Amino acid sequence: MFAFSVYFALRFDVIQNEADPLYPLAEKYRADAFTVHLKPDYSIPKAQRCEVETLDEIGNALEEIEGLLREYIFPFFSSCSDLAAVERLLNRYPGKPATSNMGARAITGVVAAALCRRSDFSEIVARYRDVLGRSTESIRKQFEAAVVHATTNILNTK
């Protein structure tokens, strides 16, 4: 038997071009970094884990995935077609849904907030600091470097 889960991701280049160099990620992998990851467990009412053994089961699984794409994923991507929409998605509830890489999520959120010149930028930073308070020192340092970058290179430029 084979089992797989389905995840979807959205890359917004204007955000990632600023955020990617701030991640502890080798440059050769940066093109694969995404702005928002959609795990069906929290973005779709139905978790999508497929267990298959036969070609018929594979076909059925693909039909289910096609239904998810049409009903949830394509409308979601259409709703995130501009910088402001993606920024709102990232920063509406910093830390929720919780991700396995909260440091990267916080960096991306701060960069997006700076690019949108959010008047509440300092409050967004404070909320991420609170969420990252339980993280390792290296993650907190990377986040603080991202705040400096966003402030110096994005907010304080014309």
pLDDT at 96: 60
Task: With respect to residue 55, please indicate whether it lies within any of the assigned structural domains.
Answer: no
Q: In 3-state terms, what secondary structure has residue 128?
A: helix
Task: With respect to residue 130, please indicate whether it lies within any of the assigned structural domains.
Answer: yes
> Residue 143 is part of which domain span?
2-40+79-155
pTM of the full structure: 0.80
pLDDT at 47: 59
pLDDT at 144: 97
pLDDT at 111: 96
What is each CA distance from 149 to 40, 52, 112, 143, in whole angstroms?
A: 32, 47, 12, 10
In sequence order, which residues have a C-beta less than 8 Å from that of residue 9 and are 6 or more positions away?
Answer: 34, 35, 36, 37, 38
Structure confidence by residue, pLDDT tens digits, 44-83: 655 577 889 999 999 998 998 888 888 888 887 888 889 9
Number of domains in the chain: 1
